[in-house]
Amino acid sequence: MTYEEFKARAEEIAKDFPIGTASAAKRGSSPKYPYVGVIANYFGRGGTHNPLGRSAFATREEAAAAVQAYIDDLRSHILTELMAPRMRANREQHGLPREIPSE
């Protein structure tokens, strides 16, 4: 496996990682900001998860966009970990070679 193939496979794994879908729920305590961003089916466990803590938004679209940005950052972090030399066990867990091929 070449470095380019390795990197493409790692990007595919990060893109397809089952984090969940961005959504919003009407749970805010303020009438001005009634929506909070949630991840539905978080890591395949069902239910919802509020990754943004106490952040609330005026519209459902704003809340979902903020959670989508969080999911994109999480996918970027997963790719960074797969490309880090010290994360051998993480690569093996996802079916990648233990060592990163040289460029």
pLDDT in tens, 36-78: 999 988 777 777 888 888 889 999 999 999 999 999 999 999 9
pTM given for the model: 0.85
Cβ-count burial of 46 within 10 angstroms (0-12 exposed, 13-18 middle, 19+ buried)? exposed
**Is 10 a residue whose pLDDT tops 90?**
yes
% of the chain surpassing 70 pLDDT: 100
What is the model's pLDDT at position 13? 95
What backbone torsions phi and psi does residue 14 show, to the nearest 5 degrees? -65, -40
What is the model's pLDDT at position 51? 86
Rounded to whole angstroms, the Cα distance separating 69 from 45 reads: 21
